[in-house]
Amino acid sequence: MVLMSKKKETLNFQTEVKQLLHLMIHSLYSNKEIAIRELISNASDAADKLRFEALNDNKLYENQSELKISVDYDKKNRTVTIADNGIGMDRDDIINNIGTIARSGTKEFLTKLSGDEAKDAHLIGQFGVGFYSSFIISDEVTLESRKAGQKQGFKWQSKGDGEFTLEPVVRESRGTTITLHLKKDEDEFLDSWRLKEIIKKYSDHITLPIVMKKTDFKDGNSIKTNEDEAINDASAIWTRNKKDIKAKEYEEFYKSLTFDMDPPLAHFHNRVEGTQEYTSLLYIPSKAPFDLYEREQNQGIKLYVKRIFIMEANEKLMPKYLRFIKGVIDSNDLPLNVSREILQDSKQVEAIKSGSVKKILSALEDMIKKKPDDYKKFWSQFGRVLKEGPAEDSGNREKIANLLKFSSTHDSTDEESVSLQDYVGRMKAEQEAVYFITADSFMAAKNSPHLEIFKKKNIEVLLLGDRVDEWMVANLPEYKGKKLQSIAKGDLDLGKLEEADEKEAKKKVEEKAKTLIEKIKTSLGGRVTDVKVTHRLTDSPSCLVVGENDISGNLERILKAAGQNTPDVKPILEINPEHDLIKKLETFKDSGEFDEYASVIFDQAILSEGGQLDDPVSFIKKINRLLIK
């Protein structure tokens, strides 16, 4: 049990909070009204928490079950007050929720701040800094709160200067009251009409009433009365008929839900009836959030049961490759006391997840056909994440494959604009596989020596330069009956794309190079699995390949960089006997010279595919000796 101080305490903020407070206090953020939005959003969350807790303990309502948020202002004292009768906070809650930042991703948010006011302002809106946004418009904030079911209230106060005071107080009503002592230039918030405008803009869809005092006009002046009036619509937008909802309403709800100041790229409003009854309102943001690639930070879906907020449940309702999706899902069938354990094993939740995923994938397919420019924007922001799909969702692998975009040798630009359908549509009549090359960048893929024979024969190859591409192709073995084939794995067999006389000519070259192949193999020893005559190269002297079932050199480098163990795969060195360097190698009679030259050719092959040399200094010395001969 925590010992309770009955005296006024002065405590320090956590370091990250101090950074946030400094940002808020000195912010030139133009959209200052988000301070009101954030505090109303917090008040709504407090009411949701009380509803949820009261499902098991109705006494928490304390004979006052009508929940609401009150907004008021005082021109004389220059204050704005936002109060709720939700769950409230005790001493520990206040310290944990306000004195420290528990939200994951906050430190990354702070590291993203650039010092550029315009860019930082956008991040403020995107992240949603909650209570701390109060200091955008206030030079002092007072908070009083009493937790439902407890007798002791507490008062918190701070000027945002690195410390706060906390003391016990007598408070009759449960819930929280926040009073903002406005900065001298923030008089706009001391106006009834302006506050109502902000509430209607950002909080119209909060599902409990937001009330202000009615005003009367007398002698040309606005005078507050003692009568409350609800400012917001107080209905869940997703429960309304789609025909009755304007595009602007969808947009404003998205902004209030996500704290994103940019409009969404698309939304999907869907009502399912039958064995499962649920409503979903899902959004695709127009820009990727800063923490998109944190696979564990995927809290984007709010789960409601019969319009009562239950939890953030994205990991149960949306696969990780769709973690950019934001929105709400409201079920009529799940129990109100649903837990995360129930979600994990629930067939109802699985059905909701399956239906929602199919809806999103179908909507993206429609976007490709009907709004290609929008899909281009979508892919530039979220394409890399969607590429995780084939590995995670085998049931929808074909649908996901239809949505993927790549760079290719068709136009050799780094813009990922080629779909697998485009590729297959351009395949030569005799071509049996979809060819691709993986590398650590687009330029490395584009300039890979493995492409030489494909360029000569005008065979298109997909150029895959994202790390996730290795994971994707490992889980996408074919597309519409066409095998996806790496051009850097196994023996290259172009099948009917090669003429009979070409194959005969290759056999003659292999036969002629047998002695040289054996000498190189002996020279390199355990550094290679084998040495072969290449059928891939036309201009380069050598390249490395691996066995058909081995991991690629690129994947091996990715895994090692991540600190993971990898199988000990020795590459196969392929040489081009027609190249002048290989011809020169044949002329060396001295075994020492031969070994040094063969080693340089092998090291060049490693470098050409983006690999690292174990001993780069030794390589440079060998090159220098060869250059001065």
Give the pLDDT confidence of 219-262 residue by residue, as tens digits: 777 788 899 999 988 778 899 899 999 999 999 889 878 878 89
Q: What distance in Å separates the CA atoms of residue 133 and residue 74, rounded to the nearest whole number?
A: 20
262 and 134 belong to one structural domain: no
Residue 166 lies in a domain: yes
75 and 194 belong to one structural domain: yes
611 and 476 belong to one structural domain: no
Give 507's Cβ-side CA count (13 Å radius): 6
Q: Which residues of 284-311 are buried (b: 16+ CB within 10 A; e: fewer)?
A: bbbbebebbeeeebbbbbbbbbeeebbb
Give 155's Cβ-side CA count (13 Å radius): 11
Identify the weakest region by mean pLDDT among 66-70, 211-215, 347-351. Answer: 347-351
Are the C-beta atoms of 45 and 84 separated by less than 8 Å? no
Can you give the residue range of the structural domain that contains 307? 238-292+302-348
Q: What distance in Å separates the CA atoms of residue 309 and residue 55, rounded to the nearest whole number?
A: 12
Q: What distance in Å separates the CA atoms of residue 194 and residue 80, rounded to the nearest whole number?
A: 12
3-state secondary structure of 404: coil
533 closest CA partner among 557, 566, 509: 509
23 and 65 belong to one structural domain: yes
Residue-wise pLDDT tens digits, 504-555: 888 898 899 999 999 999 999 999 999 999 999 999 999 999 988 888 878 8
SS3 content of the chain, % helix, strand, coil (to 5): 45, 20, 35
Residue 572 lies in a domain: yes
Domain harbouring 582, CATH code: 1.20.120.790
Q: What is the SS3 string spanning 273-324?
A: CCCCCEEEEEEECCCCCCCCCCCCCCCCEEEEECCEEEEECHHHHCCHHHCC
54 and 140 belong to one structural domain: yes
Domain harbouring 465, CATH code: 3.40.50.11260
**For residues 451-457, average pLDDT:** 94
Residue 392 lies in a domain: no
Domain harbouring 330, CATH code: 3.30.230.80
16 and 106 belong to one structural domain: yes
Residue-wise pLDDT tens digits, 284-342: 999 988 778 776 665 689 888 877 777 776 678 899 999 999 999 998 887 766 666 66
Residue-wise pLDDT tens digits, 56-109: 899 999 999 999 999 999 999 999 999 999 999 999 999 888 865 544 345 555
165 and 247 belong to one structural domain: no
The pTM assigned to this predicted structure is 0.74
